[in-house]
Amino acid sequence: MNTINLCLPPLAQVDPVIFSVPSGACDCHAHVFGPKKVFPFISDRSYTPPEAPIAAYQEMHRKLGIARAVIVQPSVYGNDNGATLNAIKQYGDDNARGIAVVAKDVSEAELETLHQRGIRGVRFNLLFKGGAQLKDLEHIASKIAAFRWHIQLLMDVSELPLIVGRLRRLPTEFVFDHMGHMPTTCRTDNVGFKTLLDLIKEGRAWAKLSGNYRISSAGPSYKDAKVFAYALISASKNRIVWGSDWPHPGLYNEMPNDGALLNALDDYAPSAALKKAILVDNPAQLYGFNLPANGAAHDQ
In a domain, 55, yes or no: yes
pLDDT-derived band at 94, boundaries 50, 70, 90: very high
CATH of the domain at 119: 3.20.20.140
What's the chain's Rg over C-alpha atoms? 18
Whether pLDDT at 81 is above 50: yes
Contact 101, 123 (CB under 8 A): yes
- Cα–Cα dist 239/16, whole Å: 27
Q: pLDDT value at position 14?
A: 97
Task: Write phi, then psi, for 12 (nearest 5 degrees).
Answer: -80, -30
pLDDT tens-digit profile of 228-287?
Answer: 999 999 999 999 999 999 999 999 999 999 999 999 999 999 999 999 999 999 999 999
- Total structural domains in the chain? 1
Is 93 designated active site? Answer: no
In a domain, 124, yes or no: yes
In the set 245, 258, 267, 281, the catalytic residue is 245
In a domain, 224, yes or no: yes
Q: pLDDT value at position 291?
A: 72
In a domain, 257, yes or no: yes
pLDDT tens-digit profile of 148-194?
Answer: 999 999 999 999 999 999 999 999 999 999 999 999 999 999 999 99
Domain that holds residue 44: 26-287
Torsion of the alpha carbons at 52, 55, 60 and 61, rounded to the nearest 10: 120
- Residue percentage of the chain with pLDDT more than 90: 88
- Cα–Cα dist 226/224, whole Å: 5
pLDDT-derived band at 300, boundaries 50, 70, 90: very low
Q: pLDDT value at position 203?
A: 96
Of 218, 134, 225, nearest to 179 by C-alpha is 225
In a domain, 152, yes or no: yes
pTM of the model: 0.94
- Which amino acid would we find at residue 140? I
